[in-house]
Structure formats: C-alpha cells, structure tokens
Structure 1
Amino acid sequence: MATPFPFSAIVGQEEMKQAILIAAVDPQVGGVLVFGDRGTGKSTAVRALAGLLPKMRAVAGCRYGCDPEASALCDDCAKLGRSLRSTLLPVPVVDLPLGATEDRVVGALDLERALAQGVKAFEPGLLARAHRGFLYIDEVNLLEDHLVDLLIDVAASGENVVEREGLSVRHPARFVLVGSGNPEEGELRPQLLDRFGLSVEVKTPQELGARVEVVKRRDAFEREPAAFVERWRKDDERLRRRLVKARAALGAVDVDDAAHEQAARLCIALGTDGLRGELTLIRAARALAALNGRARVGDAELRAVAPSALRHRLRRDPLDDSGSSLRVERAIDEVFGVLRAA
C-alpha cells in the first residue's frame, strides 16, 4: 500500500482541509465535494486522511466492520447476540474507480466458493468495505448514471440491499462520501450534488511562496517518503489528538436559539431550497466549534462554514451572473453585518 502524504504537510487549501476535518469529526454533516483545478491536492488531501484518523473499534472477524455498540448490525453479528468480541481497525478510506462494475460496488455471488463448494455465498463489495469510513470518488462528475442512482439510494438509507442470482443480502453501509473533480469536465447530477453536505472550491495558488513550498514538499516526499512522513509525524499526531478530542466534545457543544436564527436568516437571504442546507450549516458549525475547543456555536463558526455548506444549494439566478461563492459572501456580509450594526 502506498504511503499517504501527511495531512499536516499540505500547503494552503484551508477551506478544503477544514471541510475534510469537519466531516471526520461529524460524519452526519454528509460528505465533502471538492471541485477545482487539476493538480491542486484534491486527491492528496483525501488519501492523507487515511493516515490521520484514529483507529475504530469493530466486531472481530466481521466482514463489514460493524460497531459492537451499534444497534444496526449485519446479519452475522446480529446472530451472535451479546457474544461479540471487538478489535481495533483502521478507519477505511476506499476508492471507487470510475470504471467499477455494479457487482464490484455492491457485492455479488462468490463464484469461487460456488464452483468449489457448491454453496451460494456473498462476496462484499466496495460499499461494504467503506462502512463506517470514507468512500472516495475521483472525477465524481464522470461517474456513470446507474452507479449514481445506486449511491443516492445507499447514502439515503445507510443500507446496501443485494438481491440477485438467488442471493438476498442486507448489510449496513454508512460512509462519508467524498468526491473530487474538475468542473470543466462536466457538472454533477443535482440528485447526487444534494447528498454532499459540504462543497469546496480549490484553485491553483497564485502566491509565489506557496507554489514554491508545495513543489518542495512534494518533491521531498517522492524522493524519501519515509523520512518525509517522519518529519511531519508529530504534527499529524497533534491533529489526530485534536480530532479525538473534538469527537468526544461534539455532543456537548451548545447551539443556542441565536445561532439557529442566524443560520435561518442566512438561508432565507440566499433562497436555498428546503432545510437541508440549514441543518448542514448548523452541524458543520458545531463540528468546527468542537475542533477549535469552543463550548458553543457563534457567528465566527457560522461564517467560516457557510460558503462550503451553502454554495452548491443556490438556485440559478438569470439576473445575477456572479458565482455562487460570491453570492454567499455577499449574503454573509449582509446578514451578519446588519445584525452586528444593530
């Protein structure tokens, strides 16, 4: 397995790193979509997350990595009842290739066992491997429609159901969906776009020092990966401890009525459809507060996460040719600025 680039060594792209960390603190935020120029560290950041995450407790021997404390278990774990042994496993970060077949994604009949033993057995797919972890799709805007439909169903239900070739299998499949792509190569289907909690725009850095530092670090990593990772190990460990602490504190972070009203005002000002954006905004702000060691959500957290939580939920305005990011920034200044002045 290739050595992942240290998360702490990524230069710039602060909004992208913030969104990924928020999703790691609270998976209910709903995943991260990273769109932007080629070669801006999109896939590097996602794969770096694999080396950053603390291990998770799972049922020993379970093919799906079931949580022994969870109420929703796979059929095999449910049969064991209370006699569940647990172990620590790395949090999965699974790649879903564009050319993957449906059988590889959802799972299928284990042909080897069927031919050798004459029994029908299920071979888990990528969705099973990604349970309780992250499912990463590079060039997600080029994903085939039938796989998009499949992902939408599973993301909504948290469960993968396979009924084919005489098999009837149902297993939990809850994962954080992370997608990346270049908008010049095509747009994402609205149904899938709506499933991403946060949307991030990344651009090629224009500041001379940042560009030089990116190239120097990447070159050093490719020449001596082990030495480079060791150089950044303490920084990644500090970030890992911060993640663990934030997860533990998440439930205690207070979101008072004032924060809810601010979020509602912002969504009303932008004319977002439905309440999913508002809910994501609150969840992301709470996770950011936990990451920053704060006991309550304030204007600072709401302002920091609003662009990534709302920019992909705006209706197209034929009378306003400004980009979605600029529209969100204008609304933030209008809502928060007016309220501060009052």
Structure 2
Amino acid sequence: MLKIGITGQEGFVGSHLYNTLGLQPEKYERVPYDKSFFQNPEKLENFVAQCDVIVHLAAMNRHPDPEVIYETNVNLVKQLITALEKTNSKAHVLFSSSSQEEKDNLYGKSKKEGRELLSNWAKNHGGTFTGLVIPNVFGPFGAPNYNSFIATFCHKLTHGETPEIQQDGEVNLIYVGELVQEIINKIEAGVSEEIYHVPYTSTHKVTEVLAKLENYKTLYLENGEIPELKTPFDYQLFNTYRTYIDLENHFPVKFTQHTDHRGAFVELIRLGIGGQCSFSTTVPGITRGNHFHTRKIERFAVIKGKALIQLRKIDSDQVLDFYLDGSEPAYVDMPIWYTHNIKNIGEEELYTMFWINEPYNPENPDTYFVEV
C-alpha cells in the first residue's frame, strides 16, 4: 500500500485528488496534511517521513504583489526540500507546475524554479521526481475569481450576477477529474520524469463556454430541464455548474400539477438526454441510498407520502435536509460528490420516482457507499 501525502490537500486540485484516492483504500493510505505544517519544521518533517509519495500542490496563485507570489512559492519548495533532506527521504515527489512557465511572469517563474529545485533534489539524493506542467483546470468546487474563469462564471450565473468577459480567446482545458487520473497514473508508474506536459483534453473559446453556461441557467436552473449533453466536456461543464447552485434555497423544487376531474398530471423531467427512469416504494421508517456518484446526474421525485432527503458533500460535516410531501410533489437533484439518502418519515408507503442519466452498470457503477 502506498502512503501518499498531498501538500495543498485543502485546495481545489488537492481535495479532488485526496477524495479520489479515498475511493481505493486497499491501494492508497492518505497521510494527513495541514497547511500549518509549513510554519512548523518538525511537523513538516514528520509528515514527509511518513510518505512514500508526496504530491506538492501547495502554492499561491494570486496576490496584488507578484513578488509575494514568487517568494512564497519558491520558499515552500525550499522548505519541503529541507524536510526531505533531514528525513533522508527517498519519496516520489510530484510537483504541480503550470503552462504559465512559458510566460514572462513571476508566478510562472516561481513554478519553473520550484520544479528545477525538486528535480535537483531527486538527482542528488536518490529520490524520484515528476514535474507536471498543467494546463487550465476546471471542475466542481473551484473558487470563483481564483481557480478558473469557469468557476467565476458558474458562481455568478447561480447567484444572480452577470459574468463579464475581460478577454475572449481559445483556452486549453482539462477537467479536474482527468487531471487527478493523470497524477494517479504517474504515481503508479513510479519513475522520474523531469518534465511532463499534461495534455489538455479540450479547447474552447471563452464566449462559447459562457454561452453553454447561460443555456444551463435557462434550461436547468430556471426550468428544471436536463440539457442536451453531446460531448464529455458538456457533461463535465454541466456537472461543474450544478455544484455552484445554492442547494438549500433551490431545492426542493415543486412540480407544476395539471388537475381535472380525473386527478392530476405531473411532468417529472424534461430531457435533452436519455437515461433511466424508475420508481420505488418504501415502508415507514426505512432509509434508502447512502451513496454518492462522481459523474452521474440524478433526480429524486416524491409523488406520494412524506420523505426526508439528506445530502452531504463527502469531505464536509454539513448535512442538508429536504422535506418533501407527495401532496405537493417536488424533486431534489443530487450533485456529484454528495452522498445522499431518502427516508420515509410518514405513516404510509412512500412512492419515489428516480431518473438517472445512465443505467446501472456493475462493471462501472460509479456508486460509492458512505453514510450521510
């Protein structure tokens, strides 16, 4: 079993890598990290000494003074090297650099210099080093006005603001899940590679991305329709967008009921894509679910009885409770990386309709069981 530590574990890429490694506990042991370690040499050395693999992601991306960015990032690398040397570590160190290396700015310079320093450490001390040059990364839970323009657009479009394009142009992109898999592949390979240019997986104009997100706002956020998703990028962008919605104030969404002397008609979901519809009955007191998905799009619709639907982001303690009653049919959608369940809290049988964008495949289920 590989013991893996991630500096910057709490950050955008770091948290995705940490959570993904956690899906295979039989293969990887995650060594706990805290950003305070870089203020305490003893704690940093203790962290380093435990690791077979260290993924160094801790860095500063933005600051009013570029010199502060440069000095911070280079000093973080130097502190890590000191800890590696003091513990006689032979760890495999993977370093997150950036395509900014090629540009004449202090952030790019700090990344290039950090990569070269760690490469020299590995050569001189018998370690293994992989220098990753990473294109623009986007995905769920990125910080707006910090991690990517997509994070900024998603946040604004889900919070009543209007995005502005500062400069249009084509951008090479990689989804954070794809980047995490690249990192894991390099961990598994376990060989030195002084510089590896992580390939981008799609190229899009900024205006094109904004148009897609505005379409998601109209179709999905305002009207509950799952839009047509033709490419892997469309799925990735839509799932990213969904994670910026203020869940507590958006769900549950009440259906429009069309009633006459015969009863009622309710449209559960309007689709630009296919998928699988199903229903369940649940006796009082029983809870279903307690699992999460990393790519699937799913809707729970209560049509009879009383239910409690609970969601919790898997690296958070905050549980969101949604109470639904079949007398006013409503739905809740499940964001990726949120474990979820549904419980019959009434005295009669609960009827729930489910829609998911892909049928269950036991060979690739994308279903991970974790209690809410």
TM-score (norm 1): 0.27
**Structure ranking higher in helix proportion:** 1
Higher relative contact order (CA 8 A, sep 6+): 1
Bigger Rg, structure 1 or 2:
2
Task: Normalising by structure 2, report the TM-score.
Answer: 0.26
The structure that is strand-richer by fraction is 2
